[in-house]
Amino acid sequence: MKSFIAAIKNEEKGFVIKNSVFLPFHCEIITIWIGKEMSLLSAPDLITDVTDAEVLGVREGDFYTNLVFRKWNDLSKELGHNKGHIILRAAEKGADIFKVENLHYIRIGFQDHKKELSFEIIDNPYDL
């Protein structure tokens, strides 16, 4: 298992291919938000049922997690060049998800046309 805190601290990058994001870590996902930056007209999409195969596919390798957002087409076009982000509410794999100190918000940023993803731990997903 690969820690998301260590991966973020080491500034590891992920990547996106169409509607599929590859994260260089493992985590226990509680909720996912997909939202556009600076958009007062639209609320972010909230995914709480990560077991719904029509909405989200999750695959784990030895060193990565792959999230496939089935209701979206091309995430880098929709969110790239800092137009949007994905926020995970998650805990480290194996951590007690009922202890608030184990839960973190992970902001996934879509930087540029290179399909590269950046990660940061944030305090409040509503204060971006």
pLDDT of residue 128: 58
Which has the closest alpha carbon to 96: 28, 48, 33? 28
Which has the closest alpha carbon to 119: 6, 2, 1? 6
pLDDT of residue 60: 94
Model pTM? 0.88
Residue 19: which region, alpha, beta or left (left: phi > 0; alpha: psi -120 to 50)?
alpha
What is the domain partition of the chain in residue ranges?
Answer: 4-122
Low-confidence ranges of the chain (pLDDT < 70): 37-43, 113, 126-128
pLDDT of residue 40: 55
pLDDT of residue 38: 55
